[in-house]
Chains A and B, each alone.
Chain A
Amino acid sequence: AQSVTQLGSHVSVSEGALVLLRCNYSSSVPPYLFWYVQYPNQGLQLLLKYTSAATLVKGINGFEAEFKKSETSFHLTKPSAHMSDAAEYFCAVRRGSQGNLIFGKGTKLSVKP
């Protein structure tokens, strides 16, 4: 069965610093992996997705994630944090039989000036 673990419910960085949000997955088949962002009182917006075409995936707003099969990880990074990046981030794996997403518990990112 597929599952996702996000390490750290809260991450705080200074503006301009590196953002690293961790995600580990469990899947018995090659996974489809996603990162979504949720701004306050809004729905979820897709940041990027991994579908086995390339291990380094570039998304919107300068974010990228690297798929590492040996570590079963799909960590999200951004070289330089901006105040507007403050939001909650969710890692998700797609369940093949139903197509629905299985979400991690989320990581709230705070950006300090």
Chain B
Amino acid sequence: NAGVTQTPKFRILKIGQSMTLQCTQDMNHNYMYWYRQDPGMGLKLIYYSVGAGITDKGEVPNGYNVSRSTTEDFPLRLELAAPSQTSVYFCASSRDREAEAFFGQGTRLTVV
């Protein structure tokens, strides 16, 4: 039982490049989330999903897109990378909106 798996763990992007951060969970959770963590700022919600085919914006969605075609996968897409997107990204999942959230190990992204 792997829990929440994120790939890659590290990535350096040039300004204007695009990439997809992968997230998969094997717990059959309906709810999935993407957060970004910046030093001294806690975690901010980017996008979330309450089930396959359903996604919605969080607090800081600009510059990102998501899709949820299956229960297991919730990829995060950066289309035109900007230095402001340098951050650590965490994917999380929960069984329902009241259950605890399980987090992946994070992806550290640097945009130069």
Binding site for B on A (CB under 8 A): 9, 32, 34, 36, 41-46, 49, 51, 90, 94, 96, 98-106
Subset of 10 A-B contacts with CB under 8 Å: A34-B100, A43-B104, A44-B43, A46-B101, A90-B42, A98-B97, A99-B94, A100-B45, A100-B48, A105-B40
Within the assembled complex, what's the spacing in Å between the Cα atoms of A51 and B101? 14
Q: How many residues of B contact A (CB 8 A)?
A: 27
- Bound-state Cα–Cα, A44 to B40, Å: 15
B interface residues (Cβ-Cβ under 8 A, vs A): 4, 31, 33, 35, 40-45, 48, 50, 56, 58, 90, 92, 94, 96-98, 100-106
CB distance from A23 to the nearest CB of B (A): 12
- Residues in A with CB closer than 8 Å to B101 are 46, 101
Extra contacts, 15 of them, besides A46-B101, A98-B48, A103-B44 (Cβ < 8 A), are A32-B98, A41-B106, A43-B4, A43-B90, A43-B106, A44-B92, A90-B43, A94-B97, A98-B58, A100-B48, A101-B92, A101-B101, A103-B42, A105-B42, A106-B42
Q: What 3 pairs across the A-B complex have the smallest Cβ distances?
A: A99-B97, A43-B103, A103-B42
Q: Are A99 and B31 in contact (CB under 8 A)?
A: yes
Interface of B is mostly: strand
Contact B40 A46 (CB under 8 A): no
Given A100-B33, A100-B58, A106-B40, A51 and B98 touching (CB < 8 A)? Answer: yes
Residue of B whose beta carbon sits closest to that of A46: B100
Closest CB in chain B relative to A102 CB, distance in Å? 8
CB distance B103 to A45 under 8 Å?
Answer: yes
Q: What is the minimal beta-carbon distance from A42 to any residue of chain B, in angstroms?
A: 6
B residues in contact with A45, CB < 8 Å: 103
